[in-house]
Amino acid sequence: MQLPRIGGYIQLREVAQERVGLTASLNRARISVDGNAASGFSYRLLAEFEASAGARNPAMVSLREAIVRWSRGSFGLTAGQFKTPFSREYLLPVPVLETPDFAAVVDSLAPRCDVGLMGEYAFGPFATLSLGVFNGEGQNAIANRDSLVLAVARIVARPVAQVGLGASFARDGPDSLRWGIEANIEQQGGLLRGEYILRHRRGRAHDRDDFGWYLLAAYRVVPQLQLVARAERFERPAFGPTRRVEAATLGGIVELVPNRIRLLVDGVRRRTGAQRNRSDVLIAQLQARF
């Protein structure tokens, strides 16, 4: 048996915001353990220290992933606690995200980490199908309190190597459906990625569904520098225009030490509510991987 591999990352963040000033934080710190348990079987543990959403609440340490995976050929089974197969952006490992935070629609509507079972099948290089059943209670829940399950399906087709087109579906109860579509194009240092996600509740008119989208463009000018821009919108019409969010992000990534040390610098402008109240934020984030 091979020795387990230990890895992780640390993110240090400085935020400058109007009428607030400067705020420094340890945004995230995580450590992971990966290894092979037997022929065809592998495991992964991931614990993370993450900054609290509230200014007065302390950061917490939590278990993010704990999985056992079996694979043979094109088929794989994963059991434990892990990311549900829905949003492309959410499925990206956090250390490789092009922006400091997820888009609002991904953070609000995409199913997140949960406890369950998932099967995957790869149709050669052309498509991948993922089907999973989860408790629907979120991470670190010790029981399925309502006995309902969260069913998630995702398929991604690659008609050519540079293009990925996907669709996702999630049913987290008899009265709630979520679906999403995505596109990803990469060519000669350029990247274009977008998603649209919608959530419908039974008995609610379709024009009052929660929905949102984002479009991200990036270009690697030189191996050490990547420029990034993202536009996004998220709405909850059932709650009125006060829940509307529009944002634009513009910045860059500097690879100080390739695959080890990176610096993200981003300016974010958000407009929220019926009056489209504006807030501007400048974020600098230093990340070290080990």
Question: Which domain, by its residues, includes 127?
Answer: 5-289
Helix (H) / strand (E) element for 257: namely: strand 245-257
How many structural domains comprise the chain? 1
Cβ atoms of 60 and 28 closer than 8 Å: no
Q: Is the pLDDT of residue 56 over 90?
A: no
Q: 286 is written with which tokens?
A: 């230093």
Q: What is the CATH number of the domain that holds 186?
A: 2.40.160.10
Q: What is the pLDDT of residues 111-145, one digit of tens each?
A: 999 999 999 999 999 999 999 999 998 888 877 88
* Average of per-residue pLDDT across 6-23: 93
The pTM of the full predicted model, rounded to 2 decimals, is 0.90
Least confident of 80-94, 194-208, 243-257: 194-208
Q: What is the pLDDT of residues 205-260, one digit of tens each?
A: 888 899 999 999 999 999 999 999 999 999 999 887 777 999 999 999 999 999 99
Exposed, middle or buried by CB within 10 Å (0-12, 13-18, 19+), for 250?
Answer: middle
